[in-house]
Structure 1
Amino acid sequence: MPATSTAIHERMPRSRASQPGCIHLARPNPASLAPPPTHAAPRGDHLITNPLDRRTTDTGYQGSHRAYDSIVLPDVSIPARDGVQLAADIYLPALDGQPVDGQFPALIERTPYLKDSGRYARKAHWYARRGYAVVMNDVRGRGRSGGEWYPFAREAPDGYDAVEWIAVQPWCNGRVGTMGASYAGSDQSALATLNPPHLRAQVVGQGTSNYLISSMRQGGALEQRFISYAYRMAITSQEAGADPDLERVLRAEFERVPEILGPPLRFRPGRTALRFLPLYEQWAWDILIHGGSGPYWSQRGYTIDEYWHEHADVPVLFQSGWYDTYPRGAIANFHALGRLKSSPMSLLLGHWRHGEPTTEETSAGDVDLGLESALPLYDDLRLRFFDHHLKDMETGLDRDPPVRYFVMGGQLGRRPADLEGRLWHGGRWETADQWPPPDAVE
């Protein structure tokens, strides 16, 4: 292991407010936080600054147009039931640099990937300008939130507490939806197993039904990428953010993960740089040694399928991609909850890879699926879902088949010059009332 100072473990972490480039705002000034407005308009007017802001589906639904500007209230504390404070940025509809009076449906995304990153701000402003209050929340022990992070251990109760806190805020009308992909997809399902009273709808992107059966393990076999994941998350941990020496050591060892994983396996507690972050190391070791079913994998954050009967009876859109490890989880959740609950469940399976999909793209790696594979922007798809279930808008969603899936193939596999060397695979979108589709062949 690369040499490092023996003082790393003994150093007191510096607070983020004392680090260069960090600004702490005790009380945000809405006017100073507002992005430059594109227009000033009376409340309720539609600000159409880009033709893509008004997308029309074949149902005639046009969506919540951009009616507002938006402001952000940074680092608001959401109290968890055990007293830990969970940090959140709250984005609100605004006009002339001030929050709009009134109450709105709210959306929350709970992420371990640092709410301060630009991708979360862009997404949140987009929804806030269309009449939603949006909460971007660092999960426990990550970003600016208190507590310690052990993946998924507290996502069910923390998520429940966040949803219920949002529901009683003066800017919320009591209707709360959740969104996000990957970790932020699975943590939605975890909180839903506790059935928060004010939860109304979810868009679960690439989430699990059972991490032992698929994803962290595949039928019990470890996906070694999750050991790499422990290092990646350690590099962006609060501890590494406060200690540049620790961050350098973690980055250097991250490059050696294939060697550490062997063969022979060299990963042991206390022998890698993860020892400086005991819970990160413990998690990596736990998923390595727990190869079968039992209490460890029965936690709500890991095994949604054991809690399907307790899951909130709310509409859920499950999304995944064929080039990902989560289609099995999305299908299992859709199938089971559709049978157990009265609320409508939807399933969207595309040609996408892991991560929040760019649904308008027509390729995946070296494969081109053709123009027919493109869908409207993912945020537009989610907006239609939330407009229907949180705003009671006429969207035509209730007339759509519950399953939409992309069938890959049909082209000759050649590599036309205009595809920049990618394999022309082709494909088509299909719909169905159930999964598997009635004409499916094993």
Structure 2
Amino acid sequence: MADTRPHDVTPQSGPRPPVRGPSLSARLMRASWRGLPPKRYDVGLEAGLAVPGADGGTLRADHYFPRADGDFPTLLIRSPYGRGLPWSPMFGILFAEQGFHVVLQSCRGTGGSDGRFDLWRNETADGLAAVTWLRGRPWFTGTLGTVGPSYLGYTQWALALDPPPELKAMVVQVGMHDPHAFYHRGGAFHLENALAVGAGMTNQHRGIVPFLKAVLRLRRGLDGIVSARPLRKAYESALGELPWLDGVMAHPDADDPYWRGAALAGAAEQAGIPTALIGGWHDALVDQTFEQYARLRAAGARTSLLVGPWTHTSALQQGWPEVFAESLAWLRAHLCDDPSGLRPTGVRVHVGGADTWRDLDDWPQSPDPAPAPWYAAPDDSLTSRPPAQPAPLTSFRHDPDAPTPSVGGLLLSRTAGPRDNTALEARDDVRTFTGPPLTEPLDAVGPVSARVRLAVDTGHADAFVRLCDVDGQGRSTNVCDGITRVATAPGTPTEVTVVMSPIAHRFAPGHRVRLQISGGAHPRYASNPGTGVPDTEAATVTPAHITLYTGTSLNLPGGTPAPER
């Protein structure tokens, strides 16, 4: 068999990095994980390799490899978060142990790579340049895969937009393909997540200590930043100048030329690359994961979907054994011709409320009955009976200077996920409509939406809508939610559809289904100023008086009707 231990016949500037083992800290982190498969090979490392970028600058990369003779496929992982912890043990060591060459490369302007980081503009060209470099490595067999989470998912879609022939498989873990939707979905600016990304993109590639210091600075200054008027550039007190974040805040419209080329949905429609998708029900990018799956399926691509009870970060922590096993099985099937680890069905989802897993042939389930509306009634109940005629239900005042706070949900922080909403729902700017106690389990698996009929005296407001599970003790826990910006004639009733994130959830006997409606969730979303001025630019605000009308309804998947009271 061929000797695959690294040697480089291409001259590089300066001395060639020595071959060594992974760092002690990386090996200690790897040793701390449980539930992972035993290693097959010892691992070697070439650190700090100089890889030419598309502009001719040097992009730094680390090469992990099995210390064994033989031909092994290659995984390319392109990241703006550095090449140290946790990426070195999670991807470099673990996958090399299983028989892969792993090239972990720092994106332009990060981790010692030349140039300036831009949120999306360089990833396709730099990814293709990395593949060109790989073709010159004597250990590269021409069989290439990609894997990685979050922005590492975006760099995969960027490469797939113009896929090289060597690219045979992808694994996108809690990953994005559309930056605009991440920051502005529903018309509101996703403020808290934007600040978290700002801290990560600016500091994580510099090492754990600088990153933790930046996170602490952001936490200390968060209240002042999120309440500033105007909001734009207020982050500079904690994060410094970030041209890409300023651009994101200054261009809320998806049709703005600023966003041209940012969304990579077209990559999923090419159907040429087998792609495994992994998401979490409480992940800030779960909606993009489901959109990726729908596009891949529509294009006839080979794909699989795993969605667990995870947030963006817990998918790579508590969920890592499942995520790694799913990723490894897919890569072995499509890069090593070993399908033995694949699931028999294309979709596996965790069912919240039941703490079980369910295997499905597709998502959503087919055939999927049309949802049966649960109507909001004047007595704050949910009923299957439609209203006889339009009439006011209730009203409340939303004050941007004292905005409705956010509780849990799709965040990047540790406060993400299901949380007790009881105190939130006691506020006078939140309204709830609740079904009767269930006499049997109610399984809701699929897309969720709400139709909200409302009038706003200023003509400008947000409709934040949340589905909650109320247990026998009255504790209300969020299951999913969504937000939509409303701009209409002042005081004139209008109707908006608020798309919430999909769910797989069991409401147990004795529990109740609740629809929660408010004018925002701050600082998860920037508060609507009530003036029509973009939320990041407004210097003044106007409170909005919001009236809800009959016809407001919750649409649960599976055609499940509301039980009669």
Alignment TM-score, normalising by the size of structure 2: 0.55
- 1:19 aligns with none
SS at match of 2:143: strand
In the TM superposition, 1:37-56 aligns within 5 A as: none
- Give secondary structure in 2 for the equivalent of 1:107: strand
Q: 1: CA distance between counterparts of 2:223 and 2:34?
A: 48
Contact 2:183 2:248 in 1 (8 A): yes
Pairwise CA distance, 1:385: 0.9
Instruction: Give the Å deviation of 1:121.
Output: 3.4
Out of 221, 228, 233, the residue aligned to residue 256 of structure 1 is 221
- Cα-to-partner distance string for 1:275-326 (whole Å, 9 max, x where unaligned): 5x4xx2x2111111211122546444x31225544x4611001111111121
Q: How does 1:79-158 map to 2 (within 5 A)?
A: 79-94=52-67, 100-158=68-126
| Equivalent in 277, 298, 315 of residue 357 of structure 1 | 315
Structure 2 counterparts to residues 112-261 of structure 1, below 5 A: 112-213=80-181, 215-225=182-192, 226-236=194-204, 252=217, 255-261=220-226
In 1, the alpha carbon distance for the partners of 2:258 and 2:345 equals 34
Q: CA deviation at 1:91?
A: 0.6
Match of 1:5 in 2: none
CA distance in structure 1 between the aligned counterparts of 2:227 and 2:70, rounded to whole angstroms? 58
- CA drift at 1:102: 4.0
Which of 397, 406, 410 lines up with 2:350 in the alignment? 406
Q: Aligned equivalents of 2:177 and 2:22: distance in 1? A: 39
Is 1:78 paired with 2:74? no
State the one-letter code of the partner of 1:107: L
After superposition, the Cα gap between the structure-2 partners of 1:167 and 1:389, relative to the gap in structure 1 and judged at 3 Å, is farther
The separation in 2 between residues aligned to 1:118 and 1:180, in whole angstroms, is: 12
The whole-number CA distance in structure 1 between the counterparts of 2:217 and 2:34 is 47
State the distance in 1 between where 2:291 and 2:285 align: 10
Q: Structure 2 vs 1, CA of residues 284 and 122 (structure 1 numbering), >3 Å: closer, same or farther?
A: closer
Aligned length: 348
Amino acid of the structure 1 residue aligned with 2:109: G
CA separation of 1:395 and 1:190: change in aligned 2, threshold 3 A = same
Q: 1:104 to 1:297 in 2, by over 3 A?
A: farther
Q: Does 1:329 align with 2:318?
A: no
CA distances 1:208-228 after superposition (whole Å, capped 9, x unpaired)? 243333x22222311112134
Indicate conservation of the 8 Å contact 2:221/2:238, yes or no. no
| DSSP-derived class of the 2:172 partner | strand
Report Cα offsets for 1:90-141 as digits up to 9, x if no partner: 01111xxxxx344310112211111022542353122212211011111111
C-alpha contact 1:178 1:203 (8 A) present in aligned 2:
yes
Displacement of 1:329? 0.8
Letter in 2 for 1:29: P
Letter in 1 for 2:363: W
1:292 and 2:253 equivalent?
A: yes
Could you list the runs of 5+ residues in structure 1 that have no partner in the other structure? Answer: 1-24, 37-49, 55-64, 95-99, 362-374, 410-425
Alpha-carbon distance in structure 2 between the residues aligned to 1:388 and 1:33: 28
Counterpart position of 1:68: 41
SS at 2:163 equivalent: coil
Tell me, yes or no, if the aligned pair for 1:195 and 1:312 is still in contact at 8 Å: no
Provide, for residues 37-65 of structure 1, a one-character-per-residue CA deviation record: whole Å limited to 9, x for no partner.
xxxxxxxxxxxxx99665xxxxxxxxxx6
Note if 1:393 corresponds to 2:353: no
Residue 26 of structure 1 corresponds to 15
- Aligned-pair distance for 1:427? 2.7
Q: 1:337 to 1:110 in 2, by over 3 A?
A: same
Partners of 1:200 and 1:307 lie apart in 2 by: 14
Contact 2:199 2:214 in 1 (8 A): no
Aligned-partner residue type, residue 324 of structure 1: D
Relative to its length, the structure with more helix (as a share) is: 1
Amino acid at match of 1:383: L
- Identity over the aligned pairs, expressed in percent? 27
Instruction: Using the TM superposition, name which of 176-185 and 121-130 deviates more.
Output: 121-130
The residue identity in structure 2 corresponding to 1:432 is L
Q: Which has the larger radius of gyration?
A: 2
Code of the residue aligned with 1:258 in structure 2: it is D
Tell me which amino acid in the other structure corresponds to 1:346.
Answer: S
Q: Distance in 2 between matches of 1:255 and 1:152?
A: 29
Deviations 1:317-360 (A, max 9, x none): 1111111121211111111122214x411111111110362586
Retained in 2: the 8 A contact 1:205–1:356?
no
Contact 1:317 1:346 in 2 (8 A): yes
Tell me, what secondary structure is at the counterpart of 2:120?
coil
Answer yes or no: is the 8 Å Cα contact 2:36–2:325 preserved in 1: no
> Within 5 Å, which residues of 2 pair with 1:6-21?
none
Q: Where does the alignment leave 5 or more consecutive residues of structure 2 unmatched? A: 1-13, 25-32, 369-556, 560-565
Q: Which residue of 259, 265, 275 corresponds with 1:305?
A: 265
User: Deviations for 1:347-400, whole angstroms, at most 9, x for unmatched residues?
Assistant: 111111103625865xxxxxxxxxxxxx95422221111111000014152x62
CA contact 2:143–2:167 (8 Å) conserved in 1:
yes
Alignment partner of 1:267 out of 232, 240, 253: 232
SS at match of 1:212: helix
1:51 and 1:113, CA in 2 relative to 1: closer, same or farther beyond 3 A?
closer
Give the superposition deviation at 1:186: 1.8
Contact 1:77 1:88 in 2 (8 A): yes
Distance across 1 between alignment mates of 2:236 and 2:316: 40
Q: 1:123 to 1:274 in 2, by over 3 A?
A: closer
What displacement does 1:432 show? 1.9
**Helix, strand or coil for the counterpart of 1:206?**
strand
Structure-1 separation of matches of 2:121 and 2:223: 27
1:183-221, Cα deviation, whole Å (9 max, x unpaired): 1112211221122221110100112243333x2222231
User: What amino acid does structure 1 have at the position aligned with 2:263?
Assistant: T
For the residues of structure 1 that align with 2:360 and 2:123, how far apart are their CA atoms?
A: 33
Is the 1:231–1:254 contact (alpha carbons within 8 Å) kept by the matching residues of 2? Answer: no
Aligned counterparts of 1:53 and 1:436: Cα–Cα separation in 2: 30
- Measure the CA separation in 1 of the matches of 2:226 and 2:55: 37
Deviations 1:382-424 (A, max 9, x none): 1111111000014152x62111111211xxxxxxxxxxxxxxx
1: distance between equivalents of 2:180 and 2:351? 28
- Equivalence for 2:273: 314
Structure 1 match to 2:306: 348
Distance 1:394 1:150 in 2: 38
Are 1:111 and 1:136, in contact at CA under 8 Å, matched by a contact in 2? yes
Which of these residues, 350, 362, 365, is aligned with residue 434 of structure 1?
362
Per the alignment, residue 298 of structure 2 pairs with 339
Amino acid at match of 1:80: G
